[in-house]
Amino acid sequence: MSLYNLMRTSVSGMNAQANRLSTVADNIANSDTVGYKRKSIAFSTLVVPGTKAQYSSGSVVTSVREAIAMQGVLSYTSSITDLAIDGKGFFVVHDSSGTPYLTRAGSFVPDDEGRLVNAAGFYLTGYSYDNGIPSAVANGFEGLEMVSINNTDLAATPSTFGEFVANLPEAADIVTGDLPSSNLATAEFSEKSSLVVYDNFGGRVVLDIYFTKTADNTWEVSVYNQADAAPDTSFPYATGPMATQTLTFDPANGRLDAASASNIIFNVPDGSTVDIDMAEMTQLATSYLVTTTNVNGNPPAFIESVTISEDGILFASYDDGTLQPLYRIPLATVVSPDLLEGHSGNVYTQSPTSGDIHIGFANDGELGRIASGALEASNVDVADELTSMIQSQRSYTANSKVFQTGSDLMDVLVNLKR
Amino acid sequence: MKVPYISSLSVSQALRYSMASAQSQLASSQREVASGKVDDIGLELGRQTGRFVSLKSDMQRLETIMHTNELAASRMSVSQDAIGQIMVRNQDLLENVASGFTQNIDPAILAQIGEKVLSDTLGLLNTGQNGDYIFAGVNTDAPPVADYATGPAKAAFDAAFLGFFGFDKNDPAAQSIDEATMTTFLDTVVEPQFLGVDWTTTMSVASDEGILSRITLTQSAVTSASANEDGFRRTVMAGVITMELFSGNLGAQALNAVADKATELTGTAAAELSNLQGRLGLVEEQVSKASEQIQSQSDLLAEYASSLENVDPYEASVRLTSLLTQIETSYALTARLQQLSLMRFMA
Amino acid sequence: MSLSTALNTAHLSLLNIGRQTSVATSNITNAGNENYTRRSASLESLYPGARVVSINRHAAAELFNSSIRALSDSEAQQTLLGRIESLQSTLMGPDGQFSISQYLTDFHDSLQLYAASPSNDLLGEGAVNSAKDLVRRLNEASNSIQAARTGIDSEIAASVDRLNGLLADFEKANVEVIQKTHAGADASDALDQRDMLLKEISKIVPVSTITRENNDLVLMTGGATLFETTPRAVTFDPMSTFGPGTVGNTVRIDGLPVAPGAGSNTTARGSLGALIQLRDTVTVGMQGQLDEVARGLIEQFAERDPAGGGLPALAGLFTYPGGPALPPAGTVVTGLAQSITVNALFDPATGGNPALLRDGGANGAGYVQNTSGGASFSDRLINFSTLLDAPLTFDGVTGIGGDKSLLSFAADSASWLEGYRSEASNAASSKEALHVRLNSALVAETGVNLDAEMSRLLDLEHTFEASARLIRAVDEMLQDLFAAVR
């Protein structure tokens, strides 16, 4: 029996090596496929029971291993929408029917509807900012939608808060005449600045902000809409001040007094209520100097380009220079990535042994970072594959020799009877 | 460690700036060397410019005054000359009347001498210069004295004679006029005609005030003599009585009185004329002193002005030379720096 | 590390060398461009196996800010000096030939000549002509000052237009900077462009900057906002012509008036402040001085009652549209220099009689001083020529007022102008020197050193060679492997 055994064993060895050669062929063929993960064959023995005196050769069984968790080299491209992951995560993509998959093949380009689609035809998904700042659903694909760029028209965002920091000159003369808050043609003021805020339609509203010293350490702040200004002299405005506030400064250090108001709140015409923070204002013995002016909100505009940050936020850059986050691209992973089930197009699905998919954001734990303008090359090393191939070839030859030896022995055995 | 860094542009720019500034200074230095004057006096003096402007203005004005002083001086020397001439005539008359009468010379000849002296004196008093009558006071556009024979003065004299004696001088009765009466006539009737206010109605249209001239920036002086001066009047009167009374029918006694009066008049006139000459001479001296003073003042001003606007030629040329050297160095440096490039060693 | 990785890395290295070379090339191309800021390409290892080129722009923000501040100062002073010089050459002429002082002196001289020969009508005519020259000079000088003001006003309008244009361009450049900065792209070109615009704006008005998120700039000038997200309006309404009393309109930036500079070493920063100073202060001062000369002439040559009686003093040789009553003493009458004339009664060209100058009586018999009618009456003429030296009260607002003679007032006026010019010139050279110094320090710091770039190119050449070698080595190794597979 053992001769047959021997021959069957060597056949199984040859089969196993052929299997291995198949993976080598696949690896070499895909050595330039983006996001391709090297496959290899793991061998294991199959033992046939025998007696102490007699050994029955078993056979070798193969199982395919994919080096999914192994990081490929990042190579840089000139396309912003080429994405690569440095870390353990996967992009969540949909096929055209909406079935979710995981992939690391990030060569996305916008299709005719602005959706980002990769070389294998899978669509990138992300969480939209339409309903505020998104958060990831840790264990499901809910809330994910296809990332689509040109269908996203920006609704203008009205201003709601801002910051204004300036130094008011300590030595300014106290204004004894009409204050700006009176809105009289004779109004006098100490300093003036202006600030752009946005109304509900994204229209720019320029505000005139007057600072008037009314007493030592006391300043009146009046906000007017510049559109209402009288030509040349500004005063009187067509409508009264939008808001008036009084700031008092601590004579001990020139900062706002603890009891003083530290913000000014007003309603923008056709817009929201804007709260301008003035907590950092100072009154020191130097000239009027504005150091910070910031107001949120933005006007309507067309998307000029998109950028994708390391943490996966896809920003649209509008032609007026403002930036708006559109989507946040999540990363998913499983406990054992190497055991994911592969499908055509370098995509993977959860397998019974891989563990559950959980979703998070880039730069968050072990999921890794997203590199925009880069692609993850396949992790195949041609030299490695060639050496494997030579090894396989030699093993195959060795197995065939064993088989031939068995066959020769059988021949001898058959020829015994003549 | 911070590595010192310098850009190629700044290396070449530094040279270019220094070259441009040196070249613009060169142009101004060249002008200074050529003209010997500060290139831009206003820029150099700044708020001191007013002093320079005043100096220039003062110099120009002093020059004009010097010029006008010459005018006054020439008028005065012409006046002096004329007065001198009149004095000579006056002396003639004095001598002839005084000595001639005692030597029994024919009164007619004396009368002729008197006539000649009178016409000469009147002619001299009407001396003109540049269209101005110099003895006319300020009324220089008219001859100061009228001709005697054809003018109102002779008529007035004849009328006075007739009025005083009741007959004219050619009347035989004139022979009998005694010395005392004649003296009274001359002293009380004739004399006021010439030495009194009648002079300006019958003889002279000259004004008493002389011509006022500004002889320095701050000083004025009267630089003319008027025909109304006493000396002239006396000479004229002496001439008139000699001419008129020696030609009449007067007796020896009366002629004696006339001769006495003429002698007295010419004598006083001589003294007054020389007095007048002296006065004019003083003004002449004053004017010439003023001119001298102006000259020295003007010289001082010129010296001061030139010290403001002149440049030291030595200093200017040294500056020019050093600028040239600087520019040449710049050129050489530029050429050398242009050579100094890695490019040359890379071929 | 595998052979494939090695190949990939070498390949990336070639790509990076390409980008570094393009940076070096751009540096070399712009070696002569003052507004170009040198970049350098540096390699960063961001992700495994990938080294990327990041481009650094070697801006020197502090130096740049000092340089544009000095530029504002220098530009203001240069503007002031340029205008003063052209005014000086029209008002003074070469060697002071056109100066009022010169014309006064000439007038004095012709009066003196006339006084020396008062009977000479030609000299009288000469004196009147000289007076006419003087008056014409005053009129011309006044007109040229007003013409200069008109020119300055339209230059202000042009500056305002240019400023508005620059701010509009600045907005575009600023948007580009924000977009590129946020995208992490190379914003150097946009930054260069924005810095260049900032320089141009600084020439017109002083600028201080606040940097916001994503390199967004806010521009302030003085206390006024010049640019914040959008350009603020700079408004100005030019006048078509200026007369002596015309007041020019205010330039407003975001509603706040632009203040004029003060002093010969001007406090103005940027050409706009200097232009407003010229229009509203300097030329007005010059006009005032001319007006005072005109008033002094009318007053000194007025006819007064010779008998000391109650007749009022009335304008004589010099008169003006308000004549014959005299202008109020001791105060500037604006525009008098432009309207002063020689009395037609004196001017032989209009049938007048120059001898009125000698005799008086232009305002009636009561004013005749030469009662005897003497042709050589010189008292009045001598009096006139000394009156040019006699003190008179001049208005203090001219800056050179007080009790002084016409001649010394005219000399002081020359002093004032030349002093202003000389101080402005000195200040201009020192401010210019500071700007040149700072700018060359800036250019030295931010400009391109050709030698450094060339040596960097050599380095790149070597790296390229090494990478190519590496590729060949890997290739040979693989060849060996292939040879092994039979």
pLDDT tens by residue, C327-383:
998 899 999 999 999 999 999 888 888 888 888 888 888 888 888 888 888 888 888
In the structure encoding, which two tokens stand for residue B202, read together? 């019958």
User: Are residues C116 and B72, on separate chains, in Cβ contact within 8 Å?
Assistant: yes
Computed over every residue of chain C, the mean pLDDT equals 89
pLDDT of residue C156: 95
User: Are residues A305 and C229, on separate chains, in Cβ contact within 8 Å?
Assistant: no
User: Are residues A386 and C485, on separate chains, in Cβ contact within 8 Å?
Assistant: yes
Ranges B134-143, B319-328, C93-102, most confident? B319-328
pLDDT class of C144 with cuts at 50, 70, 90: very high
Nearest CA in chain B to C445: B6
Which residues are bridge partners to A46 per DSSP? A59
pLDDT tens by residue, B293-321:
989 988 998 888 888 888 888 888 898 99
Using a CB–CB cutoff of 8 Å, tell me whether A31 touches chain C.
yes
Task: Note if the bond before C321 is cis, omega within 30 degrees.
Answer: no
3-state helix, strand, coil in chain C (%, to 5): 60, 10, 30
At residue C68, φ and ψ (nearest 5 deg) are: -75, -30
> Which residues of chain C make contact with A206, given a CB cutoff of 8 A?
230, 232
Determine whether C381 is exposed, middle or buried from the number of CB atoms within 10 Å of its CB (0-12, 13-18, 19+).
buried
| Rounded Cα distance, A162 and A174, in Å | 28
Q: Is the model's pLDDT at A152 over the cut of 60?
A: no
Asked if residue A72 lies in contact with residue A1, where contact means CB atoms within 8 angstroms, the answer is: no
Q: Among partner residues C11, C175, C232, which is closest to A320 by beta-carbon distance?
A: C175
d(CA C275, nearest CA chain A) in Å: 19
Asked if residue C268 lies in contact with residue C127, where contact means CB atoms within 8 angstroms, the answer is: no
Nearest CA in chain C to B51: C411
| Rounded Cα distance, C356 and C317, in Å | 9
Q: Is the model's pLDDT at C214 over the cut of 90?
A: no
pLDDT of residue A154: 61
Q: Is the model's pLDDT at B101 over the cut of 70?
A: no
pLDDT of residue B117: 87
pLDDT tens by residue, A272-305:
899 999 988 989 888 888 888 888 887 777 777 7
> Which residues of chain C make contact with A167, given a CB cutoff of 8 A?
none
pLDDT of residue C148: 93
Report residue A210 CA to chain centroid gap: 43
Contacts by C86-91, CB closer than 8 A, 24 or more apart: C86/C148, C87/C144, C87/C145, C87/C148, C87/C282, C87/C283, C87/C286, C87/C417, C88/B42, C88/C417, C88/C418, C88/C421, C90/C141, C90/C144, C90/C148, C91/C141, C91/C144, C91/C145, C91/C286, C91/C417
pLDDT tens by residue, A2-25:
778 888 889 999 999 999 999 999
Nearest CA in chain C to B13: C440
DSSP-assigned states of every residue in A108-129 = -EE-TTSBEE-TTSPEEEEEES
Q: Are strands A347-349 and A100-103 parallel, antiparallel or unpaired?
A: antiparallel
pLDDT class of C47 with cuts at 50, 70, 90: low
Q: Among partner residues B17, B211, B341, which is closest to C436 by beta-carbon distance?
A: B17
Chains C and B share 3 or more Cβ pairs within 8 Å: yes
As a whole number, mean pLDDT of residues B18-43 equals: 86
As a whole number, mean pLDDT of residues A44-64 equals: 85
pLDDT of residue C135: 94
SS3 annotation, B74-90: HHHHHHHHHHHHHHHHH
Q: Which of C1, C2, C3, C4 to mutate to test the interface with A (most CBs of A within 10 A)?
A: C4
pLDDT class of C84 with cuts at 50, 70, 90: very high
Q: Is the model's pLDDT at B105 over the cut of 80?
A: no
User: Are residues C444 and B218, on separate chains, in Cβ contact within 8 Å?
Assistant: no
Between B131 and A155, residue with greater pLDDT? B131
d(CA C433, nearest CA chain B) in Å: 10
Determine whether C123 is exposed, middle or buried from the number of CB atoms within 10 Å of its CB (0-12, 13-18, 19+).
buried
pLDDT of residue C205: 94
Q: Is the model's pLDDT at B17 over the cut of 90?
A: no
Q: Among partner residues C50, C182, C230, which is closest to A315 by beta-carbon distance?
A: C182
> Which residues of chain C make contact with A191, given a CB cutoff of 8 A?
223
pLDDT of residue A73: 82
pLDDT class of A52 with cuts at 50, 70, 90: confident
Using a CB–CB cutoff of 8 Å, tell me whether A351 touches chain C.
no
Q: Is the model's pLDDT at C290 over the cut of 70?
A: yes
First to last CA, chain A: 21
Q: Among partner residues A234, A320, A390, which is closest to C485 by beta-carbon distance?
A: A390
User: Are residues A73 and C210, on separate chains, in Cβ contact within 8 Å?
Assistant: no
pLDDT class of A234 with cuts at 50, 70, 90: confident
Q: Which of A151-155, B183-187, C28-32, C398-402 has the lowest mean pLDDT?
A: A151-155
Chains that touch C (3 or more CB pairs under 8 A): A, B
Among candidate residues A342, C452, C350, the one with its CA nearest the CA of residue B10:
C452
H-type alpha helices, B103-188: 107-125, 152-165, 179-185
| Rounded Cα distance, A157 and A274, in Å | 12
d(CA C225, nearest CA chain A) in Å: 6
pLDDT class of C389 with cuts at 50, 70, 90: confident
Q: Which of C15, C47, C218, C227 to mutate to test the interface with A (most CBs of A within 10 A)?
A: C47
Among positive and negative, which fits the CA dihedral C322, C325, C326, C327?
negative
Residue A346: HSE in the Cβ half-sphere, 13 Å Cα cutoff: 30
pLDDT tens by residue, B245-276:
888 788 888 888 888 888 888 889 889 889 88
Nearest CA in chain B to C377: B138
Nearest CA in chain B to C443: B10
Asked if residue A102 lies in contact with residue A83, where contact means CB atoms within 8 angstroms, the answer is: no
| Rounded Cα distance, B342 and C10, in Å | 29
pTM (predicted TM-score): 0.81
Report residue C385 CA to chain centroid gap: 41
As a whole number, mean pLDDT of residues C25-36 equals: 88
ipTM of predicted assembly, 2 dp = 0.83
Nearest CA in chain A to C237: A232
| Rounded Cα distance, B227 and B210, in Å | 10
> Which residues of chain C make contact with B11, given a CB cutoff of 8 A?
444
Ranges A369-383, C147-161, C448-462, most confident? C147-161
d(CA C453, nearest CA chain B) in Å: 10
pLDDT of residue C451: 86
At residue A240, φ and ψ (nearest 5 deg) are: -65, 180
Computed over every residue of chain B, the mean pLDDT equals 85
pLDDT tens by residue, B203-234:
888 888 888 888 888 888 888 888 888 888 88
As a whole number, mean pLDDT of residues A92-96 equals: 91
Q: Which of A316-325, B195-204, C96-105, C117-126 has the lowest mean pLDDT?
A: A316-325
pLDDT of residue C486: 67
Q: Give percent above pLDDT 70 in chain B.
A: 98
| Rounded Cα distance, C166 and C431, in Å | 24
Computed over every residue of chain A, the mean pLDDT equals 86
User: Are residues B8 and C421, on separate chains, in Cβ contact within 8 Å?
Assistant: no
Chain A to chain C Cβ contacts (< 8 Å)? 135
pLDDT class of C154 with cuts at 50, 70, 90: very high
Chains that touch A (3 or more CB pairs under 8 A): C
| Rounded Cα distance, C406 and C388, in Å | 6
d(CA C224, nearest CA chain B) in Å: 35
